[in-house]
Amino acid sequence: MILKLDNVNKSFNDIDVLKDFSMKIYSKEIVCIVGPSGCGKSTLLNIISGLIQPCSGKIKHGRFNISYVFQEDRLLPWKNVYENIRLVNKDSSREKCMDFISRVGLKGFEGYYPSELSGGMRQRCSIARAFNYEGDLLLMDEPFKSLDYQLRIDMINYLLKLWDNTKKSIIFVTHEIDEALMLGDRILLLSTRPSKIYKEFIVQNDKMDRSLDDSSLMRIRNDIIHSFQHKGK
Ligand SMILES: Nc1ncnc2c1ncn2[C@@H]1O[C@H](COP(=O)(O)OP(=O)(O)OP(=O)(O)O)[C@@H](O)[C@H]1O
Ligand SMILES: [Mg+2]
């Protein structure tokens, strides 16, 4: 186990967002988190990353670095694509940064500034930046949300390849159930606020070789959709 949350509570003013939230993350696993908008998924990632503090509860983990693809791209507007990616890991070679740039489909745009990019391009730049940081745990908050269908598939495959090479744990927040089915060893469905894990789905199929047509994945998808309708009730 690399991370453990015990009865974490978080409120903003009078809004309870997380209540007695407990979760374990094991090494080498991809955990996908789905749940209603506003239930506290980004708040959870912000707490795990240490960006915000919980009101109470315990977070246990060893010493490790965290890479974080934020829900919004958070690029530095005065740095170009290459510089934004290089910035987080000054030891990375130009060749390595250029490889990430090419992998996320931004070859030729390395000299562009964030204001000159589309939303999806900015998002891909922030994904490449997180990959280049090479943390021990990767947090991804709806990372593929502004990408077209083919890019999304390409990014899922690339993420899997990267995971296969590094075997680092990933927490992946998404509203797309199919993304969760393609990537997750476990899929956690959160309830409405105050949020808890409403249901956990284990996906046993080898994630390097999954097809959404597979009957076991279709069963889990139906189960998630059905559970989603009843969450928090
Ligand atoms: N800094 C903050 N100050 C006050 N309230 C906040 C703050 N951050 C989040 N909240 C509130 O906490 C709740 C959960 O927000 P959060 O961004 O974690 O939801 P989410 O599950 O990520 O939603 P989405 O799927 O829309 O991204 C919301 O009601 C939001 O208004
Ligand atoms: Mg969010």
pLDDT digits (tens, 9 = 90+) for 65-104: 999 999 999 999 999 999 999 999 999 999 999 999 999 9
> Quick one: average pLDDT of 42-56?
97
**Strand order across the beta sheet in which 56-61 lies:** 15-25, 3-12, 56-61
Residues 45 and 85 in one domain: no
Q: Are residues 213 and 145 in the same domain?
A: yes
Residue 231 has pLDDT above 90, yes or no: no
Q: 222: CA distance to ligand 2 center in Å?
A: 23
**Total tally of structural domains belonging to the chain:** 2
- Report CA(215)–ligand 1 centroid distance (Å): 35
User: How far from chain centre, in Å, is Cα 198?
Assistant: 19
pLDDT at 62: 83
**Is the pTM value of this prediction over 0.75?**
yes
pLDDT of residue 64: 83
Both 165 and 58 in one domain: the answer is yes
Looking at residues 158-174, what average pLDDT do you find?
Answer: 95
pLDDT of residue 159: 96
User: Does 112 lie in the same domain as 189?
Assistant: no
**Collapsing DSSP states into helix, strand and coil, what is residue 185?**
coil
Q: What end-to-end distance do the CA atoms of the chain give, in Å?
A: 31
| pLDDT value, residue 120 | 94
Same domain, 167 and 215: yes
Task: Report how far ligand 2's centroid is from the alpha carbon of 38 (Å).
Answer: 7
- 86: three-class secondary structure by DSSP: helix
Q: Residue 63: pLDDT band by 50, 70, 90 thresholds?
A: confident
More confident residue, 5 or 230: 5
For residue 39, the ligand 1 atom closest to its alpha carbon is 21
pLDDT mean over 119-129? 95
For residue 229, the model assigns a pLDDT of: 86
Same-domain pairing of 163 and 121: no
52 with 81, same domain: the answer is no
Query: What three-state secondary structure class fits 206?
Result: coil
Indicate whether 174 and 222 sit together in one domain. yes
Q: Which residues surround ligand 2, an ion (CB under 5 A)?
A: 41-42, 71
Q: Which ligand is nearest to the CA of 41?
A: 1
Ligand number nearest CA of 46 is 1
Residues 148 and 216 in one domain: yes
User: Which of 105, 133, 161 is a domain's end point?
Assistant: 133
- Per-residue pLDDT, averaged over 123-141, amounts to 95
What CATH code is carried by the domain that includes residue 11?
3.40.50.300
pLDDT at 232 over 80: no
> Within this chain, do residues 202 and 140 fall inside the same structural domain, yes or no?
yes
Do 57 and 170 belong to one domain?
Answer: yes
What percent of the chain has a predicted confidence (pLDDT) above 90? Answer: 94
Range of the domain at 168: 3-64+136-230
- Which of 43, 140, 175 to probe ligand 1 with, by most ligand atoms within 8 A of CB? 43
Both 129 and 140 in a single domain?
no
Tell me the CA–centroid distance for residue 194 and ligand 1, in Å.
Answer: 11
